[in-house]
Amino acid sequence: MSDSVTALPKRSSRSGSERGAATAATRSDRARAEVRKRFEIAVLAGPAIVMFLAFVIFPVFMAAYYGFFKWKGFGAPTNFVGFANYVVIFSDQAFRDALVHNGFILVMSLVMQGPAAIAFALLLNQNIRGRSLIRVLIFVPYVISEVIVGTGWSLMLQYTGAVNDLLTNIGLGALAHDWIADPSVAIWTLMVIISWKYIGFAVILMLAGIQGIPDELYEAAAIDGASYWQIQRWITLPLLGPTIRVWAFLSIIGSLQLFDLVYIIWGQYVASTAGTSTMATYMVREGRLAGNYGYGNAVAVVIFIISLLIALTYQRFVMRRDTEGALTGASGRKRK
């Protein structure tokens, strides 16, 4: 309601002298403006909402529905099995292994990428020569597709590949491994590839966050004689908090949904023996590839619920201040 103020000033300012006579006209104007506003909202927001409901929300609800059936994907599902699919999922050792792998990937992504990304962002925020070139180059792994990353790295990491050859050439031949197939190192190989692929994104986010910190704070600290490290510790890090929390949130969600890299490098079957399978590769293998669409959908629901629980917990306890600020900030601005 309060927004009709914005639509009205033109009328009221022009008809200033004859305000009394114009009230009736203004009222019908107001009604017309209201109709017009609703029409604009429908036209502007409608397409996005329809697309979103049709291709994102609807399929997710269908997954929940199909998950209660034993169903091969042909015709309508009729063989209702209740929670039987879910019982199978949680009693399947392969799924529990995948869940553990996802947990490992989640924690190690935060531990390996977070501190490194902050350090690199601080480094790249300095006024060094070729800074913009460095920024482009550090983002290269993020920009190239998972398929290319997977294809390239699996060629390099073969037992007879470039990495082992390089190690042998510099006298570290003893370190050569079958990086991809050996279950004792495979998940670490995956972690290195994930870090390599996604750290550029973290660095760019942190850089944007650092540049959003007002210069005045640094100037004040410099006047007070603070050292470089003191400034980073007491100004940059605390003010970078919201950015770090948003990055961690995106990283957590990404870790829980990880599919492409594992599927491309380890394929559908090797992943479980190499100890790198994830919930998503399990879902595709046991669902679509095995033709058990009902079961695959049940796995999808489990992934969704696990992600949602973790995401909500995280938002509730870690990001609460940030999101509150964002929402109240936006609505406060609007109400003014």
Partner 1 sequence: MSQTSLTARTGPSRRIATSPSGATWGSPTTYLVATVLIAVCIAPVIYIILGGFRSNSQITVNPSGWPDPWVLTNYTAVLTSSLFWQQFTNSVISAVSTTVGTVALALMASFVIARYSFAGRNAMYALFAAGLMFPLTVAITPLYLLIKNLGLTDNLLGIILPQIAFALPMTVIILVPFLAAIPKELEEAAAIDGASRLKFFVRMVLPLSLPGVITTGILTFVNAWNSYMLPLFILNDSKMYTLPLGVQAFSSEHSVDTAAVLAFTSLSMLPALLFFSVFERRIVGGLTGAVKG
Q: What residues between 11 and 50 interact with partner 1 by CB under 8 A?
A: 13, 37-38, 40-41, 43-45, 47-49
**Dihedral of alpha carbons 244, 248, 250, 254, sign:** positive
Under 8 Å between Cβ of 279 and 302: yes
Structure tokens at 124: 């790249």
Task: Please count the residues of the chain.
Answer: 336
Q: CB of 279: closest distance to partner 1 in angstroms?
A: 8
Which of the stretches 7-15, 23-31, 78-86, 96-104 binds partner 1 when contact is defined by CB under 8 A? 7-15
Residue 296 binding partner 1, by CB under 8 A:
yes
d(CA 257, CA 281): 9
Residue 161 binding partner 1, by CB under 8 A:
yes
C-beta of 97 vs 268, nearer to partner 1 = 268
Using CB under 8 A, which of 138, 252, 271, 319 touches partner 1? 138
Residue 283 binding partner 1, by CB under 8 A:
yes
Segment 70 to 109, residues that bind partner 1, using CB under 8 A: 73
Under 8 Å between Cβ of 247 and 205: yes
Segment 250 to 279, residues that bind partner 1, using CB under 8 A: 253, 257, 259-260, 264
Residue 114 binding partner 1, by CB under 8 A:
no
C-beta of 24 vs 128, nearer to partner 1 = 128
d(CA 18, CA 35): 26
Q: Give the count of residues interacting with partner 1 (CB under 8 A).
A: 116
Under 8 Å between Cβ of 275 and 181: no
Tokens 């590769």, residue? 281
Q: Under 8 Å CB-to-CB from 302, ≥6 apart: which residues?
A: 86, 89, 279
Segment 222 to 241, residues that bind partner 1, using CB under 8 A: 222-223, 227-229, 231
Using CB under 8 A, which of 115, 241, 291, 329 touches partner 1? 329
For residue 182, give Cα distances in angstroms to 102, 158, 159, 178, 300: 19, 11, 10, 6, 29
Q: CB of 66: closest distance to partner 1 in angstroms?
A: 6
Which of the stretches 92-100, 102-110, 149-157, 171-179 binds partner 1 when contact is defined by CB under 8 A? 149-157
Residue 311 binding partner 1, by CB under 8 A:
yes
d(CA 318, CA 235): 20
Q: CB of 4: closest distance to partner 1 in angstroms?
A: 9
Taking each helix axis as running N to C, give the angle between helix 93-124 and helix 186-211, from 0 to 180 degrees, rounded to the nearest 10.
40
